[in-house]
Chains A and B, each alone.
Chain A
Amino acid sequence: MSEALIGVARPRIDAPDKVTGATRFAADGYVHGLLHARPILSTEPHARIRQVDREAALSVPGVVAVLVAADLPMATSGTDRTAEPLAREEVVFAGQPVALVVAETEAAAEDGAEAVVVEYESLPAVVGLEDAMVPGAPLARLVEEDEGGGDLESIHAGVDEGEQDADEEQLSGNVLDTVNRRSGNAAAALEASDVVLSGTFRTPWVYQAYIEPQVATAWLEPSGTLVVSTSTQGSFVTRSELARAFGLPLERIRVIAEPLGGAFGGKFALIEPLAAGAALALRRPVRLVLTRGDDFQATNPVSAQVTDLRVGARKDGTFTGIEARMLVDRGSNAGWGVEGITSLLVAGPYRWDAHDLRGYGVQTNRFPFGAYRAPGAPTAAFALESLLDELAVALDLDPIEMRLRNAVVEGDVGVSGNPFPTIGAVEVLERLREHSLWRDRESLPAGEGVGMAAGYWPGGNEPAAAVCRVDADGTMTVVTSAADMSGVNTGFAVIAAAAFGLEPEKVRVVSADTATGPYAGASGGSKVTYTVGKAVEGAARAARVKVLAAASQELEIAPDDLEVIDGVVRAVGAPDRSITVEELARKALRFGGRYEPIEGHGGSAQTVGAPSVAAHLSHVRVDRETGEVELLRHVIAQDVGRALNPALVEGQMRGGATQGMGWALFEQLDHDESGQLLTGSFLDYSIPVADRVPEIDTLIVEVPAPDGPFGAKGIGEAPVVAAAPAIVNAVAAATGTRMRELPLTPPHVWAALAESKPEDDL
């Protein structure tokens, strides 16, 4: 085993193909006889479909078919997007697919789509989150949801649902789920506190904004197997969703996860049932590429939330009680929401004497909620870390010192009721405290400020497997079915190389499909390196056993006295007695060979989580005349377990922090009062651009995860969690004004500055 390979910065193994244009993304592959599809999206947020007039569209040259719900061979009557890829009778958001034009060319499909006329009977639209909850409010969906949704909820973070709320609160039928996490008497703990602070925090719907729009291509093999080639985070979950949609046995479906052009939680079996339904109905290959405009309207961004939060502390800064009431806008997703996760994460990586945390999942006539990098966490951290920043001011304590006093360590029982596993909260905060930006924060020009915030992501688990094979040229191929969303394949290569004893350059990693690959869950929840990476380590070790057995016979030395280094098996202490892996593989892989192929299978079933903590510093300048917030510098410290490849780890840290800048300053999916999307393009919905993002310093903190491969764990989600509150706290430091609604756009900041006096008692 070559531990020295771990922790070295190396280019991504997919980089050469990506910089030369050689990578085939899901919209790029050639399929014979391919048809192109264009959806007709509902223009009504809530309505009954009276009629779809297809005649004009069908006479457009090149149009092959115009499909409505009744034309798709659905096997289930549910109302989620898998069961109802096209609306049957009731549309529940503006943007919901109602019909699908299928044509010989994309241009013909577009022409056809313009000719389809849909007649609606409008129903009362439920747009406001709080209005939707009031008893007597109109219902956002009239048709009852069937029981038995898919697997989509469980594939994110490993979070237990809190107990169901015992209180008899009066709520409308739009409240689909309530969660209440309670321990001790939070009200009494707050009552006995020296300082109690409270506030209401609002965050908008936010869009994943992957640069590659959603795309799926479906066809039938002559054998009848349904093949779907798609941009997805999870091939197996997509396969099970398709099986549910069409009542097909798993073995009749093959899902190929193509290289992802960004996903961030938004690509979990969404448009595949529509493409597949069309292919099944027409018995021809069909490709559905969403335009960006359709992707904005018809996909699954992350929920708006309203959080009422109260926290208390003693004079010495010890936290006492925490109470939260968190409203989650699920939009038209009746199946699941983030009320469970967000009501867990709002307590942060801190100890509390007592807590009472409530989450409400509310349906409205907006898009169906979907996951976006650490779903439910940025909203929770925005509320908590904003109030903690105020708390430090009120108690006249250093904000980092105050957090350190309360930071959880391994064994502390969290609000989940379970003890925290190994967690680097203290180490991260201590590291951040040393940064010069923090030490020098008092000596800044007027209008500038530095803020900090911390947050964590619990990490997910799911059993996974991997296989590897050494070829006769001495190179290794590792096969998993994990979608490479964040560079995990590059990590797998170094894990396999280190566990086997090979140069990383000699390891290829193949992302297999559901027909050929070992099992892996969807890439989400920050679990791939921790779980699939562990399986890769096991596979490489198993192959190492084979190579040692062969070498032992060749060299007549016991396996225990052999080592494998850089592709050479040699006697420990007598390196001249050696044989190359390549030669052993050649001897094995031939007619009449005497050794088993040098291959291995590995699996993992992680049961202990591996949370990652990330803390941020933000340095801002606020223009009081315009309300514009300029980001001058950003620092992120994160516990990554063990950095398998520091360059890729830093990439995740910077990328996550930058998405947090979007949360803080730029991004909101806005509807008007009638439920029409106002920000449906990159003209209206701005994501961080190159000249608005500052230099980002990365501080890698390594507290090894005991069960992770070489101590590594999933790190993709933690860096987004507390970036926004660090920026908001920096704005407060610069101006004395506390903002409680994201994003901090110039008009919003300007108005808040005009209204409030510095450090106003809100």
Chain B
Amino acid sequence: MSVIARDMAHRPESSSALSLVVNGESRSLEVEPRTLLVHALRDELGLTGTHVGCDTSQCGACTVLLDGLAVKSCTVLAVQVEGIEVTTIEGLSADGDMHPIQRAFVEHHGLQCGFCTPGVILTSVDLLSRDSEPSHATIRHALRGNLCRCTGYQTIVESVRAAGDALRDEGS
């Protein structure tokens, strides 16, 4: 059958061995140099809570934390994050206990379909680490790069506010 390629036993020719710190654990993987972090996380490490919603770095569904800063993981190569602490949505809830921000999103109805939610939450973690009592306008500005098609954003804003309150209570 002419439509079938001859080389059926394909393995990428040039792959790089990497050692990444993801969610506090050291992980070894082999990827092609061109592999984006989002694909390494999803396809190599099975961390599928990081979602792909676009191919132009607009939607924010793939947002992760790099040394605590919210970064769209489609904008960096996997090979660039060696030596950097990567946190995905799975790493936010230690030992099965939800992070206060995750709890706030549940209790304040900050999600519907949930596809944008991991990215929204990680962007919010970054924001609240810098400003634990952000105004609604500040929250909305911070979330400009995270598209949500379901909620109309209001309950997301309320969730972030409530999370800030919870984090301050915890800290005090």
Chain A residues with a Cβ under 8 A of chain B: 9, 11-12, 14-25, 27-28, 30, 54, 58-68, 71, 103-108, 208-213, 259-262, 264, 282, 289, 291-293, 485-487, 647-648, 650-651, 654-655, 657-659, 681-683, 687-691, 693, 695-696
* Chain B, interface residues (CB within 8 Å), range: 35 or more
Q: Known pairs A63-B10, A262-B150. 16 more at Cβ < 8 A?
A: A15-B105, A19-B98, A20-B98, A59-B7, A60-B5, A210-B115, A211-B53, A211-B116, A259-B114, A282-B4, A292-B55, A485-B113, A486-B112, A651-B109, A682-B59, A687-B147
Q: Is the CB of A21 within 8 A of B89?
A: yes
| Also in contact, A293 and B111, with CB within 8 A (given A65-B4, A211-B147, A693-B153) | no
Q: Which residues of B contact A209 (CB under 8 A)?
A: 147, 149
The 4 A-B pairs at the shortest CB distance, nearest first, are namely A21-B49, A18-B114, A261-B115, A654-B152
Q: Is the CB of A651 within 8 A of B3?
A: no
**Interchain nearest-CB distance for B144 vs A (Å):** 5
Most buried by A among B58, B152, B154: B152
Q: How far is the CA of A222 from the CA of B88 in the complex (A)?
A: 37
| B143 interfacial contact with A, CB 8 Å | yes
Q: How far is the CA of A18 from the CA of B113 in the complex (A)?
A: 8
Q: Is the CB of B48 within 8 A of A21?
A: yes
Q: Is the CB of A18 within 8 A of B59?
A: no
Q: Is the CB of B149 within 8 A of A695?
A: no
| Also in contact, A11 and B109, with CB within 8 A (given A21-B47, A261-B114, A658-B152) | yes
| B161 interfacial contact with A, CB 8 Å | no
| B126 interfacial contact with A, CB 8 Å | no
Most buried by B among A18, A23, A695: A18
**Interchain nearest-CB distance for A381 vs B (Å):** 19
Q: Is the CB of B56 within 8 A of A292?
A: yes
Among residues of A, the one whose C-beta sits closest to the C-beta of B47 is: A21
Q: Which residues of B contact A683 (CB under 8 A)?
A: 56, 58
Q: Which of B5, B56, B111, B157 contacts A690 (CB 8 A)?
A: B157
B2-17: which have CB < 8 Å to A? 2-8, 10, 12-13
Among residues of A, the one whose C-beta sits closest to the C-beta of B8 is: A64
Contact with A along B57-84 (1 / 0, CB 8 A): 0110100000000000000000000000
Q: Is the CB of A20 within 8 A of B152?
A: no
| Also in contact, A12 and B3, with CB within 8 A (given A19-B121, A211-B53) | no
Q: Is the CB of B149 within 8 A of A262?
A: yes
Q: Is the CB of B51 within 8 A of A20?
A: no
Q: How far is the CA of A9 from the CA of B50 in the complex (A)?
A: 29
| B92 interfacial contact with A, CB 8 Å | yes
Q: Is the CB of B112 within 8 A of A655?
A: yes
**Interchain nearest-CB distance for A102 vs B (Å):** 9
Q: Which residues of B contact A487 (CB under 8 A)?
A: 112
Q: Which residues of B contact A30 (CB under 8 A)?
A: 46
**Interchain nearest-CB distance for B65 vs A (Å):** 13
| Also in contact, A691 and B10, with CB within 8 A (given A213-B53, A291-B55) | no
Q: Which of B92, B115, B153 contacts A212 (CB 8 A)?
A: B115
Q: Which residues of A contact B50 (CB under 8 A)?
A: 21
Q: Is the CB of A65 within 8 A of B3?
A: yes
Q: Which residues of B contact A15 (CB under 8 A)?
A: 105-106, 109, 111, 114
B132-168: which have CB < 8 Å to A? 136-137, 139-141, 143-144, 146-157
Q: Which residues of A contact B150 (CB under 8 A)?
A: 262, 651, 655
Contact with A along B8-49 (1 / 0, CB 8 A): 101011000000000000000000101100010011001111
Q: Which of B8, B56, B112, B152 contacts A682 (CB 8 A)?
A: B56
Among residues of B, the one whose C-beta sits closest to the C-beta of A293 is: B55
Q: Which of A9, A14, A63, A291 contacts B114 (CB 8 A)?
A: A14
